[in-house]
Amino acid sequence: MSSTPLRLLPTAGLSAEELTAAFAGALEGAYVLAPLPPDPVEAAAVERMLTAAGPGAVPDDVTLVVSTSGSTGAPKGVMLSATAIRAGAAATDARLGGPGEWSLALGAHYVAGAMVVCRALLAGTALHLVPPHLAGLSAATVRPGARHYLSVVPTQLARLRDDDAALTALAGFDAILLGGAAADPELLAGLRARGLRIVTTYGMSETSGGCVYDDRPLDGVGVRSEVADGRLTITGPMLFSGYLGRPDLTAEVLRIDPAGRRTLLTGDRGEVAADGTVGVLGRLDDVVISGGLNVDLAAVQTAARRTLGSTELVALGVPDPVWGTRVVVVTTVRTSLPGLRAALAPLLAHHALPRGLARLEVLPTTSSGKIDRRALIAAWGTMDEELA
């Protein structure tokens, strides 16, 4: 185990220069960096996780520990080596057409934001900070002739679809990485028609961020779909070293062969075509049993979003004494449950049609910009709902 000290980094209010310097020290081996969320409750949970791991729990090769809630809600410390970070950054540069300056609109405590900092740092280019809501965004701050990149989640773009000034600024970027959740195809088509160079990405903390761009693995990345359940497995030099202090969890998802090659067993279902194109179908735990029959929540959500023409919608499985798990939809769109079920009837099997609907003015999101599914499930019983 490493004797390198662990440095906890509160990320709230830091300048681009301060962030760059902190990550530079980690990549140079001065310490292992653990960025903390700006939210004090989340930060406290991450600190407890780091403390519970105990001194000396970090292996020698680890440079960065990023927190992720995974599917349980309890934070896990994903350990990334300098080798993995450099490999991920280099593969991104190669796919996008070369290194460039980066604008950071995501929290640096999550892997997507941390990798933005690292890509700029390793390329020796500038890092620009922009607010998460992208107000006042401009691609004109870069040096003449320099490439300029941005990384965002779908919610950030969905809320700007009618903002002409913002879309004009976004069209000035050489590439906009879009990840963290599935994006609505109609939203993507509309934004691309406005000149935005959007690159959809798939990846996770355990792969040093995105490792599949526009459905194609980055150089050096291998993706397979298991025959038994469609689980996606990933190989490549940017895979993580394990979960801090949790060898049990590490053993569940990380396989290392005698030659040292690592394979990550993801929690996602997907298909890999003969030409290597990757299609992500949803989470393994998106398939719930309702009334004794399997329901794919990802399919319900995709169909409902297409029907209502909005990404401000999520399909959930909530506990139910009759159905075991009841399929419900929460949305900001004004609609009725009978109307939604009728519109979805040609698209979904009868047992997959939602049996509950709740409407909110705003859907709660995590600090990374994703719809907070756990918060919605926890609050379901308090919502004003329609029942089928």
Map out the domains of the chain as residue ranges. 6-279, 291-387
How many whole angstroms separate alpha carbon 109 and alpha carbon 12?
10
DSSP 238-272: T---EETT-HHHHHHHEEE-TT--EEEEEEEEEEE
Model confidence band, residue 119 (pLDDT cutoffs 50, 70, 90): very high
Q: Which CATH superfamily is domain 291-387 in?
A: ANL, C-terminal domain (3.30.300.30)
Per-residue pLDDT tens over the stretch 125-181: 999 999 888 877 765 565 677 899 999 988 888 888 888 888 998 999 999 999 987
Please give the DSSP secondary-structure letter assigned to residue 31.
-
DSSP state of 371: B
Average of per-residue pLDDT across 8-27 = 96
Structure tokens at 192: 């691309």
Q: Whole-number mean pLDDT of the chain?
A: 91
Q: Which tokens hold the place of 342?
A: 């009728």
> Where are the extended beta strands (E) located within 84-241?
101-104, 127-129, 148-152, 175-178, 198-204, 209-213, 216-217, 222-225, 231-235
Q: Is the pLDDT of residue 55 over 90?
A: no
pLDDT for 72 beyond 50? no
Least-confidence region, from 140-144, 212-216, 334-338, 374-378: 140-144
pLDDT at 66: 96
Is beta strand 293-296 parallel, antiparallel or unpaired with respect to 287-290?
antiparallel
Tens digit of each residue's pLDDT (9 = 90 or more) over 319-367: 988 899 999 999 999 999 999 999 999 999 999 999 999 999 999 987 6
What's the DSSP call for residue 344? H
Least confident residue range of 79-88, 112-121, 183-192, 335-344: 183-192
Percent of the chain residues past pLDDT 70, beyond the cut? 96
Would you say 73 and 374 are in contact if contact means Cβ atoms under 8 Å apart?
A: yes
- pLDDT of residue 16 exceeding 90, the answer is yes
**Mean pLDDT, residues 81-93:** 98
Cα–Cα distance, 77 to 34 (Å, whole number): 9
Quick one: pLDDT at residue 165? Answer: 87
Find out whether 19 and 116 touch, Cβ atoms under 8 Å. Answer: no
Mean pLDDT of 51-76: 81
**Both structure tokens of 11:** 């990320």
Give percent helix, percent strand, percent coil of the chain, each to the nearest 5. Answer: 30, 30, 40
- CATH number of the domain located at residue range(s) 6-279 in this protein: 3.40.50.12780
Cross-strand pairs, 365:
371
pLDDT at 71: 43
Burial classification of residue 222, based on how many CB atoms lie within 10 Å of its CB (0-12 exposed, 13-18 middle, 19 or more buried)? middle
